Amino acid sequence: MIQLFNVGKSYGGVAPALIDITFSVKKGEFIFLTGPSGAGKTTLLKILYRTEKYDQGQVLVHGMNIGKIPDRKLYTLRREIGFVFQDYKLLAKKNVFENVAFAQEVIGANKKRIRFKTWEALKNVGLTHKKDSYPQQLSGGEQQRVAIARALVNSPKIILADEPTGNLDPEISIEILKLFEHAKKAGVTVVFATHDQDMIRSRNHRVVVIKRGQLVNP
Amino acid sequence: MTTSAHNTYSNIKSNLQVFLVSVATITVAFSILGLFLVIFVNLNSFLTTWSEKVQLVVYLEDEITDGQKQSLEQLISANSDVESMTFISKDAAWANFKNTFSSTKSDFIDDLKYNPLPSSYNLKFKPSSDRFVRIREFADLFKRRQGVESVEYGETWLGAFEKFMLFIRIFLLAVGGLLGLGLILIISNTIKLSFYARQEEIELMLLIGATPNFVRVPFMIEGMFQGLLGGIFALALIKSLQLYIKVQFQGSLQSIARGMEFQFISQPLILGLLASALFIGWVGSFIAIQKFLSSGNTK
């Protein structure tokens, strides 16, 4: 589902952000992407989502050579991927239901489908009772659950999560992790970036470790 | 389409003050342009009214032969632009002249022992937009003919007026071009502000799979709507001014040129003005959005 071959990226600083990264993720697999802060986890996820370009190597996502996708066609890649951000990126002026429905609206779904899919996504993350609340009225864990519902509402093939539990306490973090594992069970490929070693040890998923822009053995 | 209209409405609502300022600026700019157009249209109509009265008079030499006369008449009857031809003989011209100046009772006319006036052909031309050009071309033909003394069609003042109208045309184009350029920048800036007001939402749209058109269309509609509203307000403003001037000064105008009315710009020009307002709105918003989309998608 995801294949990286000798990927390199530099922002022009002394040390490159990524050096010769090669690994793959199978369809329906769940992997932890870990490493210290500044190791290159976020850069790698941004490359997979094509909000950053890479300088060398090849990247295939769901059969697409993402370096060759023109900007005007990027939406074809992004519709296959659900991205969960550490800072949630919820719209403050929209309520929970509208925030999740927004992902359906931008891909041009009809109203009936938007209502159905949004309700289903909110049910999966257990937030139907908060549908009329606004982001600022929710706890961090609830906000992240809304973000996950938004990432899942378009039934993506892949979920990329950038430190989704970084701002949450351990109990809530495990609840959030379970939502991603639930998506994996439904056949979604999950790349879960975290530096929470306790969380990684508590599960039996494959671990990819990056240090100073390079892959190292776990 | 419904989503685009809804998004356009949200854009305008979130940035209403800037939107209204932009519409007001477009109104002022188009009013200036429209005012010049009204002046141009009326000067043009003035020129047309006067040029309709213009006749081509071909004065003949006293020694003209019958053969030369015939050849001239053939040339005249072959021209389909000529509506009518009147031959005025030397004697008739003299009689007319004496008749016209009989009231002055000048001794000079009575003392004159010979007829100094030449015979002539007076030609009337059919109405057409390039009537004056045709008269001039036809007059040039006569100048080279044998038996023709001279031609007369008021070329000096009509030529000067024509040059003046050409200058006005170039002036209008230049003013229109400059105002158009200024308006494109204004609309482009308004759309940019509208964009920044919703930047977070737009970035998220692109991140979660919106097509560039999904993002672009509402802003394009907003830009075109701004242009159109400005154009309509400007036209309303000029129309009111034209009506006011018509009521106040129609009498004076009639005394200068009988049958002439103070006119508003024609329907094709109105449509042209509105179409350019739409086009300017489209270009302005396109520039703003394209810049954002090309820099916002990927670093």
Give A80-109 pLDDT, tens digit per residue.
999 998 888 899 889 999 999 999 998 888
Inter-chain residue contact B204 with A53, CB threshold 8 Å: no
The confidence score (pLDDT) of residue B229 equals 93
Q: Which of B180, B210, B197, B157 is nearest to B275 (CA)?
A: B180
Give the whole-angstrom CA distance, residue A210 versus residue A17.
Answer: 11
Nearest Cβ partner for B208 among A50, A72, A106: A106
B204 touches A at CB < 8 Å: yes
Shortest CA gap A198–chain B (Å): 31
Averaged over A139-162, what is the pLDDT? Answer: 91
B141 touches A at CB < 8 Å: no
Q: Which of B259, B250, B280, B286 is nearest to B53 (CA)?
A: B259
Domain B55-153 listed as CATH 3.30.70.3040? yes
The confidence score (pLDDT) of residue B169 equals 79
Which of A11, A54, A71, A99 would you mutate first to test chain B, the one with the most B CBs within 10 A? A71
The confidence score (pLDDT) of residue B15 equals 74
What residue ranges of chain B have pLDDT lower than 50? 298-299
Domains and CATH numbers, chain A: 23-42+69-216 (3.40.50.300)
The confidence score (pLDDT) of residue B299 equals 45
The total number of residues written for chain B in this structure:
299
Domain ranges of chain B: 2-50+159-296, 55-153
Residues of B in contact with A66 (CB under 8 A): none
Measured CA distances, B198 to A85, B7, B69, B191, B203 (Å): 19, 11, 82, 11, 9
Nearest Cβ partner for B207 among A72, A83, A154: A83
Inter-chain residue contact B298 with A52, CB threshold 8 Å: yes
pLDDT > 80? residue A126: yes
Averaged over A174-185, what is the pLDDT? Answer: 89
B207 touches A at CB < 8 Å: yes
Nearest Cβ partner for B209 among A71, A89, A107: A107
Give yes or no for a contact between A178 and A99, defined as CB atoms under 8 angstroms apart: no
Q: What's the ipTM?
A: 0.84
The confidence score (pLDDT) of residue B4 equals 74
Query: Which positions in chain A have a beta carbon within 8 angstroms of at least one beta carbon in chain B?
Result: 49-53, 71-72, 74-75, 78-79, 83, 89, 91, 102-103, 105-108, 150, 154
Residues of A in contact with B293 (CB under 8 A): 71
Residues of A in contact with B11 (CB under 8 A): none
Residues whose CB falls within 8 Å of the CB of residue A135, separated by 6 or more in sequence, listed in order: A88, A90, A91, A92, A96, A99, A143, A146
Task: Say whether B149 sits in a helix, a strand or coil.
Answer: strand
- More confident position, A154 or B189: A154
Q: Which of A139, A93, A101 is nearest to A120 (CA)?
A: A101
